[in-house]
Amino acid sequence: MTSSLTALVTSAAAEPAAEFAKPSIDYAALSPLLVVFGTAVLGVLVEAFVGRRSRYLAQTVLSVAGVAGALVATVWVASNLSATGTAARGGIEIGGAFAVDGPTVFLWGTILVLSLVSVLLFAERTLEGGVTAFAGQAAALPGTSAEREASTKGLEHTEVFPLMLFSIGGMLMFPAANDLITMFVALEVLSLPLYLLCGLARRRRLLSQEAALKYFLLGAFSSGFFLYGIALVYGYAGSMGFADIAEAVTGRIGGQPLLLAGIGLMAVGMLFKVGAAPFHSWTPDVYQGAPTAVTAFMAACTKVAAFGALLRLFYVAFGAARWDWTPMVAMIAVITMLVGCVLAITQSDVKRMLAYSSISHAGFILVGFVGLTSVGSFDGTRLSSLQSVLFYLVTYGFMTLGAFAVVTVVRDAGGEATHLSRWAGLGKESPVLAGVFAFFLLSMAGIPLTSGFAGKWAVFTSAVSGGAWPLVVVAVLLSAVAAFFYARVIVLMFFSDPIGEGPVVMSPSILTTIVIAVGVAVTVVLGVYPGPVLDLAATAGQFVR
Amino acid sequence: MNLPLLTIALLLPVLGAVVVAVLPQAGHGTSRVALPKQVALGVSLLTLAVVGYVGIAFDTDGARYQFTETHEWIRVFGAHYALGVDGIGMTLVLMTAILTPVVILASWYDGDDGRWGANAFFAWILVLEGLSICVFAATDVFLFYVVFEATLIPIYFLIGGFGGPRRSPAAVKFLIYNLLGGLLMLAAVVGLYVVSARSAVGPTYLLSELTTVPIEQSTARWLFVGFFVAFAIKAPMVPVHTWLPDAAEEGSAGTSVMLVSILDKIGTFGMIRFCLQLFPEASQWATPVVLTLAVVSVLWGALAAIGQDNIPRLIAYTSVSHFGFIVLGIFVLNSYGQTGSTLYMFNHGMSTAALFLVAGFLIRRRGSQLISDYGGVEKVAPVLAAMLLVAGLSSLSLPGLSPFISEFLVLQGAFAHGWWWAAAAVLGIVLAALYILLMYQRTMTGPTVPSVAGLKDLDVREVAALAPLVLLIVVLGFFPQPLTSMIDPAVAATLEQVGATDPAPTVPSAPSEAAATEQESPE
């Protein structure tokens, strides 16, 4: 212990002596990040200089263009990745701060496509009668004359678009981060705008603000855990870089308690973001309180980004210690699935139910995550753990976005009618929409010929390949429980009689319609013919080290 | 031969369902638009024509699987879109194609008072037909599993949308039971992938390739359990049968036919196709337990049927008993038993369909499912009573009607395996006579109860729907060769794969005589 500490001190002392070399930055490889952040900054300038009337249009166009541009850049980066095949390919950028490799690019693409769809949901104005679903003037206290004035004037916060873009930027950074500091910065960059966005609902503002505060407090708390974990891991390995940490872990130098405590604390921070039990308690409240467009964005994109980062951290930095953390993750997976599936049964609010459903999905993804096949065993014909998780994230993202988009159009006088009892007999009133929602639910339940089934199949397979079959048996049994509460909603919509003065299904503008259509299309295509996306996930290969 | 006939046969009803769904709503307002129903019937008859052609063109001396189509589907999963029928699959595809038009004709007005109108009812029926044909023709485990699970959706909506007052809970109960079984099977299917991916064959789900993959003994046994539990729930066997009576009680007659006569056969078909062929050693290992469960099902189902006052529930329990016989025949692992079982699946499909439909006609007229509400119906509706009698007698395996032959073969197989199994199962026949004849006696004979005094007899449409079933039951009762000649080679091939041989006839034809004596006793 002492000797290793001395070694650390000497090495730390030796380093500053060397000339500070300016890291070379491959701007091209990071172009998607730069495009998104650049657009976000432009968005702030638009807020400052463009007149109120034309802001909405300017911001919408700018955001769509920015995200689409970043997507193009991602495709371009992907086509330029160094090697081909299933081996790790890509490069480490900016002195080890970022890793732009196959999985990164795949996750970037997923996040950007989901974001692009989410932007449309943010820009929906028809449903609220000509304004967005965000508060007219967030600073005005609920129930005051200032608030009434803001709503009669038809004010709207177009700042949500740059905020969203900053958050997207953070999400792109998160899975690409290749050292602990960058990872922490990314975590905060993606979280802070989200805290704010959660509190901006136009309707039910107190609920929304409560959600924002809860999310912020708990999020800050979990960031604290994460940071403490970083400190301990640094203390163990003497470096922030994943490569150095991996080397230290492989060599088993230094005190194990330091490493294990560090892994545990960092896991708390990460698992909080993905909404895994027992760090899930914010999820239902925040998903319910936040404006539904934000909930959709958060549920889909944050989860993709956070799982991407979780995968890189645990596979790359702590890969050699996997016998230490696999039991922990397996346990978390079981608890998460249990909490998600069982508590969802008792929910009476559709957004809360979807929140618990998303918790259970986090559990299923963790099942695939546990099935880590050792890096060398990957031969290209078999499904790898990384591949299955990446694929599941895509399927999950699109069905969740679609389901929340459906929630936004079922409305009554008080805004969205989210109480489940209000959905009774919806199948009679508007069979198409209810059918679409039922389809998303069936997909979440994992019925074959939907993307949810292909995703479940993939993660279960990778877990069984990794020898975690007891976990799969548990997951399978809990899937049946989950199917029960999804079926319950379908029963409610199709087999119950409509209540009098029930909610009406508003016909949304083309924007929300596109979101729902994309959700359905992806869910069908990935269910019937998942091959191409699975192959794409396979070509993503392994993490570069 | 170049036409993908099986794909056509399964796509026809599915596309037909789409057409039926978008046609103007039938049976609304004063002008009853019958067009969607006619389209549905037409599509199902067209499908029957295609399947009938396949059946005629099926070469009983030819390759084991015929009309095969194989296309790679999901490379990474090793999944293929692979179809092909052997004699066993062919029999069941034929059964599906025959029963669907019958159900459509018999349920002509059943969809009108449902939750979403007749279009939805007939569209779901057609979807179910397409999926069932696919499931019986699938030669890829992944494809089979996918369609196996997908069949739950149409039947779920059929039970939940068109039926009795407590249909929603029945539909959910059905779904949860079957989904649980399906998910356990999913675990086994995933396990199969891992096994094949580790072998020299590489990841594959093709049945033909999987049978060559060596599976470690303990793994094979676990996988067998996963598959078997799913099939046992589907079939249904005691003790996981309780969803069936509820579903049959609440579903309309047509739904029950689709469910019991066609869908439940997937369970027994799955046992013969997948449990036996993929895990031969494990099947032999599990035989004592499975046979015990089968015999318990035979007796339990029969006893429970005797105790029922509700006609559809009674028929559901008779089916539990019949499925016990089918499973018994499959797992005695000899050619009598398995040929008998396959034939049994077909015959049970016909006879139970007739029973459900006649009961449905009766219940629709009087508006009650309870036996105690009827009496002396044969005086006011003689044709209906006659049809119920024929259907009932076929259900209790009267010699001369087709189920007799299959039950006889199953019992013969059981004797060859061990006389005590057959001795126990034979009691089921005695009980079958009890439950059918008691039901007939209580509803049809005796003084006419006032509430059924004005009952109308069957009309032309209803008789036309039942006629093909009765015809097949009678004709196949005397002349089962067309089916047996198709089934025999497939059963022989299956048994060869399991490594089971028929017991050598040391005492020539002794078992069959014993079976015959037992067989005659209830008559």
- Of the candidate ranges A14-28, B307-321, B452-466, the one whose mean pLDDT is the lowest: A14-28
In this prediction, residue A87 carries a pLDDT of 54
The full 3-state SS of A359-416, as one line of letters, equals HHHHHHHHHHHHCCCCHHHCCCCCCCHHHHHHHHHHHHHHHHHHHHHHHHHEEECCEE
Nearest to A448 among B150, B176, B187 (CB): B150
Confidence of residue B505 (pLDDT cuts 50, 70, 90): low
Q: Is the four-CA dihedral A398, A400, A402, A404 of positive or negative sign?
A: negative
User: Is residue B508 pLDDT above 60, yes or no?
Assistant: no
Nearest to A464 among B152, B167, B194 (CB): B194
B385 CA: distance to closest CA in chain A (Å) = 35
User: Is residue A166 pLDDT above 60, yes or no?
Assistant: yes
Q: pLDDT higher for A141 or B224?
A: B224
Output the average pLDDT for chain B.
87
A457 close contact with B: CB closer than 8 A: yes
A380 close contact with B: CB closer than 8 A: no
Q: Any residues with CB less than 8 A from the CB of B179 and at least 6 apart, and which?
A: A445, A479, A480, A483, B149, B152
User: Is residue B315 pLDDT above 70, yes or no?
Assistant: yes
User: Is residue B309 pLDDT above 80, yes or no?
Assistant: yes
> Cβ(B418)–Cβ(B328) under 8 Å?
no
Q: Which residues share a beta bridge with B310?
A: B370
Nearest to A457 among B148, B190, B202 (CB): B190
Nearest to B76 among A446, A480, A531 (CB): A531
User: Is residue A22 pLDDT above 60, yes or no?
Assistant: yes
For the segment B189-213, the average pLDDT, to the nearest whole number, is: 84
- Of the candidate ranges A348-362, B249-263, B445-459, B490-504, the one whose mean pLDDT is the lowest: B490-504
Q: pLDDT higher for A206 or B24?
A: A206
The full 3-state SS of B203-224, as one line of letters, equals CCCEHHHHCCCCCCHHHHHHHH
Its ipTM equals 0.83
User: Is residue B116 pLDDT above 90, yes or no?
Assistant: no
User: Is residue A163 pLDDT above 60, yes or no?
Assistant: yes
Distance between first and last Cα of chain B: 47
Dump pLDDT digits (tens) for B1-51.
478 889 999 999 999 999 988 887 755 544 456 788 888 999 999 999 999
A536 close contact with B: CB closer than 8 A: no
In this prediction, residue B516 carries a pLDDT of 46
Structure tokens belonging to residue A212: 């924002």
User: Is residue B208 pLDDT above 70, yes or no?
Assistant: yes
Chain B residues with beta carbon closer than 8 angstroms to that of A431: 116
> Cβ(B40)–Cβ(B13) under 8 Å?
no
Dump pLDDT digits (tens) for A54-90.
899 999 999 999 999 999 999 998 888 765 544 566 7
Give the phi and the psi of residue A544 in degrees, each rounded to 5: -80, 145
- Of the candidate ranges A203-212, B46-55, B155-164, B180-189, the one whose mean pLDDT is the lowest: B155-164
For the segment A149-168, the average pLDDT, to the nearest whole number, is: 88
**Which of A444, A476, A477, A525 to mutate against chain B (most B CBs within 10 Å)?**
A476
Confidence of residue B506 (pLDDT cuts 50, 70, 90): low
In this prediction, residue A89 carries a pLDDT of 66
User: Is residue B378 pLDDT above 60, yes or no?
Assistant: yes
In this prediction, residue A381 carries a pLDDT of 54
Q: Any residues with CB less than 8 A from the CB of B326 and at least 6 apart, and which?
A: B235, B268, B341, B344, B345, B348, B410
Dump pLDDT digits (tens) for B328-348.
999 998 888 999 999 999 999
Nearest to B168 among A449, A457, A495 (CB): A495
Q: pLDDT higher for B301 or A20?
A: B301
The helix or strand, by DSSP H or E, that contains position A341, with its residue range, turns out to be: helix A322-345
Dump pLDDT digits (tens) for A478-507.
988 888 889 888 888 888 877 777 777 888
The helix or strand, by DSSP H or E, that contains position B173, with its residue range, turns out to be: helix B167-198
* Cβ neighbours, 10 Å, residue A533: 21
Distance CA B504, CA B102 (A): 43
Distance CA B236, CA B248 (A): 13
| Closest chain A residue to B219, measured at CA | A469
B146 CA: distance to closest CA in chain A (Å) = 5
* Cβ neighbours, 10 Å, residue B513: 13
Distance CA A268, CA A187 (A): 13
Chain A residues with beta carbon closer than 8 angstroms to that of B148: 448
In this prediction, residue B447 carries a pLDDT of 86
Q: Which residues share a beta bridge with B138?
A: B83
For the segment A141-146, the average pLDDT, to the nearest whole number, is: 82
Structure tokens belonging to residue B331: 């797992």
Q: Is the four-CA dihedral A38, A43, A48, A51 of positive or negative sign?
A: positive
Confidence of residue A377 (pLDDT cuts 50, 70, 90): very low
A27 close contact with B: CB closer than 8 A: no
pTM: predicted TM-score of the whole model, two decimal places = 0.88
Confidence of residue A407 (pLDDT cuts 50, 70, 90): very high
For the segment B100-127, the average pLDDT, to the nearest whole number, is: 84
A447 close contact with B: CB closer than 8 A: yes
In this prediction, residue A12 carries a pLDDT of 47
Distance CA B195, CA B210 (A): 9
| Closest chain B residue to A483, measured at CA | B176
**Which of B140, B151, B190 to mutate against chain A (most A CBs within 10 Å)?**
B190
In this prediction, residue B517 carries a pLDDT of 47
User: Is residue A138 pLDDT above 60, yes or no?
Assistant: yes
- Looking from the CA of B360 toward its CB, the CA atoms found within 13 Å total 29
Do the Cβ atoms of A495 and B167 come within 8 Å?
yes
Chain B residues with beta carbon closer than 8 angstroms to that of A345: none
Nearest to B190 among A472, A484, A488 (CB): A472
For the segment A224-246, the average pLDDT, to the nearest whole number, is: 92
In this prediction, residue B340 carries a pLDDT of 92
Dump pLDDT digits (tens) for A37-64.
999 999 999 999 988 888 999 999 999 9
Q: Any residues with CB less than 8 A from the CB of A58 and at least 6 apart, and which?
A: A46, A50
Nearest to A472 among B74, B150, B187 (CB): B187
**Which of A337, A345, A378, A381 to mutate against chain B (most B CBs within 10 Å)?**
A381
- Looking from the CA of B250 toward its CB, the CA atoms found within 13 Å total 22
A347 CA: distance to closest CA in chain B (Å) = 18
